[in-house]
Structure 1
Amino acid sequence: MRRFNRFFLLSLFAALLSGIVGNAQTTVAPPPNADVEELKQTVRDLALRVSALEAELQKQRTVQTTEIATLRPAALTLAPAADIRRSVEAVSSSGAAPVPATIAATPQAPAAQSSPVAAVLPTQLPGGATLNYMFDGYYGYDLNHPIGRVLYLRAYDVLSNAFSVNQADVVFALDPDVANGRRYGVRVDLQFGQATSTLQGNPANEARPDIYRNIFQAYGTYVVPLGKGLTVDFGKWSSSLGIEGNYTKDQVNYSRSFFFNYLPFYQAGLRTSFKVNDKLALNYWVVNGTNQTEPNNSFKDELFGFTAQPTKKILWNFNYYLGQDHPDSQPATNCTAPVQPGLCLQAINPAPDGKIHIFDSYVTWNATPKLTFSLEGDYVIEREWAHAEPGESSAPSHVDGGAAYARYQLTPKMALGGRTEYLSDRGGLFSGTTQALKEFTGTYEYKFGEGFLARAEYRRDWSNVPYFLTNKPGVLTADQPTMTVGMVWWVGGKQGAW
């Protein structure tokens, strides 16, 4: 504005001078001194008026800025915080490469600075920490009208003809910031709703699951200054076995695959990731067990894997997991010493010592900015006994198969997603029945705004044997067709996938 005013003033002055020069060229006699003085005074008056206008404009800007800061403090603090988070993410990616646990549905836009919810709920904390909130609910309908409205083999959409709360979450996240001297971080995810029954273990695989039921994740992080960075996590975290993850907003479909429902949901222990270079990271875990916050035996499970990004459009993960899931103790009632509830145990002798081996691999290809493809393949083999005695069995049970995903972003608000899957369950490790399972899922997504989306979904599961419930007692069917509408709300300072 000031430059325009000065330009206007100089132009006016130049025009006036040119008029004087022109008059001088056409007039023989020079102008009288009185006219020149009058012209100079006019220019001075114009300069004073321009200065007064500039002062008034600056005063109005100050008043507007004060009003905005009073009414919308969150909107003003989000922009610099976003810059800080971007630098933190850049440092984290250069110092370590954690294994992605989700299919990124779309690159998440920065937090909506104009969101009225963001202005009410705290999302930014001192020191760069963020608070994040999510609500995920659905209505599903099974065309088989099953008894009890129960859907088989579903992880989250477990009920038919019911308005359901899948989950409500509160996430506290403080990422390491090596560039600014902070090598540590911490994350806590609190979860409530139906999903806690799916994700948390039960007494069959850990003695006291209920005391951890609402703690989906809780771990601390430290970046060791070794090479390009060695990231070490200690605590309980969401498993990266399998391509899908917990938070619906970051997935292609609303429902989850068979393999998401079968592979471990979480581990507890020590997790490391070493970044070799910009294209390769090596991963190693030592944990209590599969879906075990507390162990049910003395064996410690391990994972060996890598994350590779040969090009900017391709991301590949490979994991090998070795574990032992069979308990070496069971609940008892004859303890004389005081112990916490659930810790009165007696030994199982002999205890099964068979191992579980999981080979898991998935790759994502961002074909275009709007089109993404993903493939997942898994092979699992488990034995009850490693060295069988008379009356015991070392016969293996197998689960193997894969899934394919595609997503196309029609517009900034609309997207289409699809998934097809095959799972061979020999020995009934997953479903309790030897069968070949298939499913197809088609999803339409509409994003009302940053922090609110809805998905309409049709899914059909089918098997080579009658397995799924019907509305007739004792009568099973070989397929399970469902229609679901899911809605997800979220707000928080954390950008990208959660």
Structure 2
Amino acid sequence: MSVEGRTFDVQRSRPTLSLAEIEIEKIPEFGGFGFKLDLAFGETQNIINDTIRGAIGLDASQSVINGPSRNIQHASLSYVAPIGRGLRIDAGKLVTHIGAETIETAKNWNYSHAFFYTYGIPFQDTGARFNYAWSDTLYTELYVLQGWNVVRDNNSGKTWGPSVGWTPLPWLSFVANYLQGPEQNNNSSNKRNLFDAQVIIGPLFDRLTFMLNDDRGMEQRVPPANVSDAHWQGTTFYAKYKINDMFEPTLRIEEYRDPDGFTTGVPQRLRGYTLTWNTKLALPRASILMIRPEIRYDRSSANFYTKGSSFRSRTTQFTYGLGATFIF
């Protein structure tokens, strides 16, 4: 039995090694070169590789990842061109910049991932990123990529998009991302468009932080009919309260709309409510152990969740789990 609607925590009633990861990075100096290499092992990395083969939609790339590259989550070279404050250029295999969540659960506010991360955005990109910080509070980026979740493109077109980050106040920041490009096999005419925005407020009173993430996507002329467009949208709200250096519970409320069933396989509206009790324990030699009990209730407007051997026979799902992360 598996847990429906999840990115990585898909196993029910048994412990798993989700992810073991080593990050090696040299940050480039002004006028200098650098690199970043993330090696990953475990069920999460296997799911990424298997999911990339299907991506989203009926006409996804179906690319295959074999050999040592299955364990390379990120591999890029960097250069800071001596232009103004420094134009940073990164090229290679990159973890997606879209969304408020990332692959490693230790970097997220909750243990499980939101619906938008599971269904609405890419996991990884291959291409180039151009970053320029106009000031200490404003930066812009431009991405030129092979496409969603592919190393070798499945058509002759490229995916591109700008990104803007602005922090006008110490307790207020905005991020806006856009991606556009053809993602269908051997078809460079039909485009996929994705808009992603994040607003972070806090910490207020040094304890309370809010975050809002909104994603809106559209695929032109969905195969096999090639007549109508598909749309999807996700809105996710987070609230995190720091009780002290050890305890930091986080509430997430989300809604994901997939009226055409393009990303989830079922025309539906999903709602989720998640509470994660983040517990951080300091260990010797600056290492950290994170213990993360979590309860989650999900509801769909259609039969989407599985009970026992009855596949997609229910509209609701309640789960509870415990995650542990060791950082050194």
State the TM-score, normalizing by the size of structure 1.
0.61
Which residue among 451, 455, 480 is the counterpart of 2:288?
451
CA contact (8 A) 1:272 1:285 kept: yes
**Offset from partner CA, 1:1-42 (integer Å, 9 cap, x none):** xxxxxxxxxxxxxxxxxxxxxxxxxxxxxxxxxxxxxxxxxx
Report whether the alignment pairs 1:186 with 2:56.
Answer: no
Equivalent position SS for 2:326? strand
CA contact (8 A) 1:326 1:384 kept: no
Change (3 A) 1:207 1:430: closer
Which residue among 189, 192, 217 is the counterpart of 1:353?
189
CA contact (8 A) 2:246 2:281 kept: yes
Which residue among 353, 364, 376 is the counterpart of 2:213?
376
Point out where structure 1 has 5 or more consecutive residues left out of the alignment.
Answer: 1-148, 329-350, 492-498
Quote the sequence identity (%). 26
State the partner residue of 2:122: 264
The alpha carbon displacement at 1:475 in A equals 6.3
Which residue among 50, 63, 71 is the counterpart of 1:207?
63
CA distance in 2, matches of 1:244, 1:475: 27
**Offset from partner CA, 1:22-68 (integer Å, 9 cap, x none):** xxxxxxxxxxxxxxxxxxxxxxxxxxxxxxxxxxxxxxxxxxxxxxx
Write the letter of the residue equivalent to 1:236. Answer: K
Write the letter of the residue equivalent to 2:76. Answer: Y
Change (3 A) 1:220 1:404: same
Change (3 A) 1:355 1:311: same
Write the letter of the residue equivalent to 1:359. Answer: F
When Rg is computed on C-alpha atoms for both structures, the one with the higher figure is 1
Change (3 A) 1:215 1:474: closer
The alpha carbon displacement at 1:472 in A equals 4.2
The alpha carbon displacement at 1:392 in A equals 4.0
The alpha carbon displacement at 1:210 in A equals 2.5
Equivalent position SS for 1:418? strand
The alpha carbon displacement at 1:233 in A equals 0.2
Matches within 5 A, 1:308-327: 308-327=166-185
**Offset from partner CA, 1:451-477 (integer Å, 9 cap, x none):** 211000000111011110002435610
Change (3 A) 1:236 1:206: farther
CA distance in 2, matches of 1:231, 1:489: 31
Write the letter of the residue equivalent to 2:263. Answer: F
The alpha carbon displacement at 1:226 in A equals 1.0
CA distance in 1, matches of 2:29, 2:80: 9
Write the letter of the residue equivalent to 1:415. Answer: E
State the partner residue of 1:340: none
CA contact (8 A) 1:153 1:258 kept: yes
**Offset from partner CA, 1:337-371 (integer Å, 9 cap, x none):** xxxxxxxxxxxxxx473110001100111123221
Write the letter of the residue equivalent to 1:400. Answer: Q
Higher helix share: 1
Report whether the alignment pairs 1:277 with 2:114.
Answer: no
CA distance in 1, matches of 2:45, 2:312: 30
RMSD of aligned Cα (Å): 1.7
CA distance in 1, matches of 2:147, 2:233: 20
Equivalent position SS for 2:116? helix
State the partner residue of 2:148: 290
**Offset from partner CA, 1:246-272 (integer Å, 9 cap, x none):** 222221110010111121111000111
Matches within 5 A, 1:53-452: 149-178=1-30, 183-200=32-49, 201-202=52-53, 204-211=60-67, 212-262=69-119, 263-328=121-186, 351=187, 353-366=189-202, 367-384=204-221, 392-449=225-282, 450-452=287-289
Equivalent position SS for 1:424? strand
CA contact (8 A) 1:352 1:384 kept: no
**Offset from partner CA, 1:217-243 (integer Å, 9 cap, x none):** 000110111111111000011111111
The alpha carbon displacement at 1:159 in A equals 0.6
CA distance in 1, matches of 2:311, 2:125: 37
The alpha carbon displacement at 1:384 in A equals 3.2
**Offset from partner CA, 1:164-219 (integer Å, 9 cap, x none):** 111111111111133xxx62110000111111133232165253323432110000
Change (3 A) 1:468 1:304: same
Q: Higher relative contact order by CA 8 Å / sep ≥ 6: 1 or 2? A: 1
Write the letter of the residue equivalent to 1:374. Answer: M
Write the letter of the residue equivalent to 2:38. Answer: D
CA distance in 2, matches of 1:475, 1:356: 28
The alpha carbon displacement at 1:418 in A equals 0.8
Write the letter of the residue equivalent to 2:11. Answer: L
Higher strand share: 2
CA distance in 2, matches of 1:456, 1:467: 25
Point out where structure 2 has 5 or more consecutive residues left out of the alignment.
Answer: 55-59
